[in-house]
Amino acid sequence: MRIGFKEGFIVALLAALAVLPPLAVWSDEVFYIDLFSRVLIHAIAAVSLNFILGYGGMVSFGHAAYLGIGGYVVGICTFHALEDGIGWLASGWLQFPLAMLISALVALAIGAICLRTRGVYFIMITLAFGQMLYFSAVGLEVYGADDGLTLYTTSDFSGLVNLGDDVTLYYVSYVALLVALWLSWRLIGSRFGRAIAGARSNERRMQAIGFPTYSYKLTAFVIAGGLCGFAGALMANHDTFVSPSMMHWIKSGDLIIMVVLGGMGTLFGPVVGAVAFLFLEELLSSITEHWQVIFGPLLIVVVIFARGGIDGLLGALGGARGVVLPFFGGRSARQDHRSGPEGGLARHFSADGSAGAPTAAAGSQGPLPGLASAAGDGPARPALTAALRIDNVVKSFGGLLATDHLTLEIASGEIHAVIGPNGAGKTTLIAQITGELRPDRGRIHFRGRDITALSTPRRSHLGLARSFQITNLFLEFSALDNVALAIQAHSGHSFRFWREARGDPALHLPARRALGQVGLGARTDVLASNLAHGEQRQLEIAMALATGPGMLLLDEPMAGMGPEESARMVQTLRALKGRLTILLIEHDMDAVFALADRITVLEYGSAIATGTPEEIRGNEEVRQAYLGDAVSTA
């Protein structure tokens, strides 16, 4: 099969690595076996970091700690096997799994704390934990303290594998790298990988559609830590020496450089980055001991002129030529979400792998729950039971009362509009209902259940779905991908690690149907960022409906729309009337009075009136406070 330039380069690189030992022996350059054994081991560690950095957006500056933990597990076991005569501690069948397990457990403890922070705080806390472990290793006097610990034997695999032989260790590391790449490839393409990519793109939106992103990110963090611990066990056998320097922040920085240099969020980028970094280190250090002075500017040039690292540069050199092998397709964060109609998660959610926009008819087949046609018996009548009850809720920001002892009841099946001037507390109200903000006082009940203390994802799974005042989508994903993620959040199987998401009809079929129901059936494979503003607002409605909600919370869904787009949105919402409970915040008074069963008017966080459109239209206090002449009494 003919392949693209970049893929051809990767195949050539892997082939060269496969035949390097016999060539090195034949040419009497066995030094290269040692050098590229280090390359392979570091590449495994870089692949593990890329899983959380490139695909998960988690910048861990303490990742080398797991490398050191894996190494020290092997070192300490070997030490006691020789010193205390406990032979079974020298077994590689014990050491390697134990190295991965302890590294994963430490990653679990560190991640449980770090992942409650974001941005620079996350970076600094991972750095702090890494340095804590480094200085802990320095304090291990019995194991050599700062001088490190020499291993006088390698891990014993019952005589089947001799890691003391350089060529054997090289090929074990090579196979381990291929397994690590395969593992990463499978994880990224799975439902779990889609959730990680979604959290990286827009964590707030992921929580709103029902993903407990903390759990997903922590799981990824643990997987990365365990894999890096395996690399550390290999490194201990390669160097026959372990020291605290394996955990130092400089080593973590080296791993980050490998990922960035090769290409973050790409499958083979970390491998290319490890080869380039260690080869340049060896070459430049032979010229000067201050080799970093030369390497630094080279890295800056790559970052500035090849934003995708070497992987991106290879892709640019190759252009669009060639046919991508299946193993290479759909595993780059940039390719998955930025490659246009033929790219994106649509590939992973398509059962047959085909591209191309479906027809509107194809996207509209079958009813979507809550959006069935109003033809026939006519719209269902609102029920009398309360879907949502807000009891004396108070929320303040400093001295400002955004919600002032608000009490509100919304009946099942009704469209209840909340209107008021800017700053009246409308969006703050939705934030409290969805769980993004916690009320200072008061209670919120949904379907008879007190949800005041529940998280945003928990409330989503109870049946609350929302749109945002400012369009909030996964802009790097296609329209289909956006809706498919919303469906996945409520399918109960997002922790599937092996099944390909692209072959899952349970995701893409209802996603196409949802898009068809809101008029986007022919726009499924268009990136959300390329949709018109009105289409983006419709997409938000499709995402909300795809979760099978009991109540929609719509925050100015017609904001910024033209007359035709607003008319389409009104038509969409009218089709839902009586079938879903809707809380509608909107400044378009024509739409409000055309859609609402009841209207509540907020002013300074308090409800000054609640009633039918006719009652609100005739309320003089409301007209003076907000409506003015916007709504004619005619």
pLDDT tens-digit map of 87-117: 899 999 999 999 999 999 999 999 999 999 9
Dihedral angle sign, alpha carbons of residues 121, 123, 129, 135: negative
Question: Would 357 be classed as within a structural domain?
Answer: no
Between the ranges 10-14, 172-176, 334-338, 381-385, where is the mean pLDDT highest?
Answer: 172-176
| Residue 502 near residue 350 (C-beta atoms within 8 A) | yes
Residue 3's pLDDT band (boundaries 50, 70, 90)? low
- Measured CA distances, 403 to 160, 251, 415, 464 (Å): 70, 50, 21, 20
Q: Phi and psi of 407, rounded to 5°?
A: -125, 130
Other CB atoms within 10 A of residue 595 CB:
21
| Residue 201 near residue 270 (C-beta atoms within 8 A) | no
Q: Note the helical H segments in 116-212.
A: 119-138, 166-189, 191-201, 203-208
Q: State residue 289's pLDDT score.
A: 85
pLDDT at 80 over 50: yes
- The residue among 565 and 39 whose pLDDT is bigger is 39
pLDDT at 150 over 60: yes
* SS3 category, 443: strand
Could you give the CA distance from residue 557 to residue 580 in angstroms, rounded to a whole number?
16
Q: State residue 40's pLDDT score.
A: 97
Question: Would 4 be classed as within a structural domain?
Answer: no
Radius of gyration of the chain (CA): 29
Q: State residue 313's pLDDT score.
A: 84
Q: Which of 247, 266, 294 is the last residue of a domain?
A: 247
E strand residue ranges, 453-589: 464-466, 551-555, 581-585
Exposure of 336 in the CB half-sphere (CA atoms within 13 A): 28
Instruction: Report percent pLDDT > 70 for the chain.
Output: 87
* SS3 category, 355: coil
Question: Would 603 be classed as within a structural domain?
Answer: yes
pLDDT at 340 over 90: no
Lowest mean pLDDT among 381-390, 404-413, 529-538, 587-596: 381-390
**Of 551, 550, 526, 549, residue with least CA distance to 539:** 526
Mean of the pLDDT values across residues 303-311? 81
pLDDT at 345 over 60: no
Mean of the pLDDT values across residues 42-61? 96
Residue 630's pLDDT band (boundaries 50, 70, 90)? low
- The residue among 497 and 393 whose pLDDT is bigger is 393
**Of 436, 388, 392, residue with least CA distance to 416:** 388
Could you give the CA distance from residue 187 to residue 333 in angstroms, rounded to a whole number?
13
Question: Would 293 be classed as within a structural domain?
Answer: no
Encode pLDDT of 226-236 as tens digits: 999 999 999 99
Q: Which of 247, 279, 297 is the last residue of a domain?
A: 247
Other CB atoms within 10 A of residue 85 CB:
8
Q: Which of 202, 231, 247 is the last residue of a domain?
A: 247
| pTM (predicted TM-score) | 0.85
Could you give the CA distance from residue 603 to residue 388 in angstroms, rounded to a whole number?
20
Question: Would 329 be classed as within a structural domain?
Answer: no
Question: Would 188 be classed as within a structural domain?
Answer: yes
Encode pLDDT of 521-562 as tens digits: 999 999 999 999 999 999 999 999 999 999 999 999 998 888
Q: State residue 317's pLDDT score.
A: 78
Per-residue b/e over 178-202, b at no fewer than 16 CB within 10 Å?
Answer: bebbebbbbbbbbbbbbbbbbbbbb
Residue 634's pLDDT band (boundaries 50, 70, 90)? very low
* SS3 category, 153: coil
- Measured CA distances, 140 to 19, 82, 149, 150 (Å): 41, 18, 10, 14
Q: State residue 77's pLDDT score.
A: 96
Check which CATH number belongs to the domain holding 400 and give it. Answer: 3.40.50.300
Question: Would 92 be classed as within a structural domain?
Answer: yes
pLDDT at 470 over 80: yes
pLDDT at 353 over 80: no
Encode pLDDT of 567-605 as tens digits: 888 988 998 888 899 999 998 999 999 999 999 999 989
The mean pLDDT value of the chain amounts to: 86
- The total of structural domains in the chain comes to 2
Lowest mean pLDDT among 13-22, 258-267, 520-529, 559-568: 559-568
Q: State residue 501's pLDDT score.
A: 76
Could you give the CA distance from residue 608 to residue 533 in angstroms, rounded to a whole number?
33
- The residue among 158 and 178 whose pLDDT is bigger is 178
Question: Would 279 be classed as within a structural domain?
Answer: no
Residue 221's pLDDT band (boundaries 50, 70, 90)? very high
Mean of the pLDDT values across residues 149-156? 93
pLDDT at 339 over 60: no
Domain around 407:
386-627
Residue 4's pLDDT band (boundaries 50, 70, 90)? confident
